Amino acid sequence: MTREELLEAERQTLAAIIERKTAFQLTFGSPAGEKVLDDFDRFCRGSRSCFDPDPRVHAVLEGRREVWLRIREHLDRTPEQLFELYTGRPLSKGDTADE
């Protein structure tokens, strides 16, 4: 893949991440969304351990928490941080959401 192709693929990926982050912000950024987040924090064990001695219960609780963490990632991180998180590498130099 050429450098130009790589940069274009990164731009497309970053644009998709920005669009998804915006959707999360619109969904959870209202007063009603905040109430849902408060409920999810409790239900998904966002602030506490998911350990349970029963491995099946533990697995269910971890699944809930995984959803909570994904929501928080999209609300708390920048598009560039999300890009790195989901691709495993930083954006190429000079290719940011600000451009």
How big, in percent rounded to 5, are the helix, strand and coil portions of the chain? 70, 0, 30
Checking if the pLDDT of 96 tops 70, the result is no
Residue 93: the pLDDT is 81
Q: How far apart are CA 18 and CA 35, in angstroms?
A: 24
Residue 35 domain boundaries: 3-87
For 1-58, write each residue's pLDDT tens digit: 899 999 999 999 999 999 999 999 999 999 999 999 999 999 999 999 999 999 999 9
User: Does residue 81 lie within any of the structural domains?
Assistant: yes
Instruction: Identify the sign of the CA torsion 28, 31, 35, 36.
Output: negative
Three-state DSSP state, 29: coil
Query: Length of the chain in residues, anyone?
Result: 99
For 58-92, write each residue's pLDDT tens digit: 999 999 999 999 999 999 999 999 999 999 999 99
- The domain total for the chain is 1
Residue among 28, 42, 39 at smallest CA distance from 73:
28
User: Does residue 25 lie within any of the structural domains?
Assistant: yes
User: Does residue 60 lie within any of the structural domains?
Assistant: yes
Residue 83 near residue 17, CB atoms below 8 Å = yes
User: Does residue 95 lie within any of the structural domains?
Assistant: no
User: Does residue 94 lie within any of the structural domains?
Assistant: no
User: Does residue 98 lie within any of the structural domains?
Assistant: no
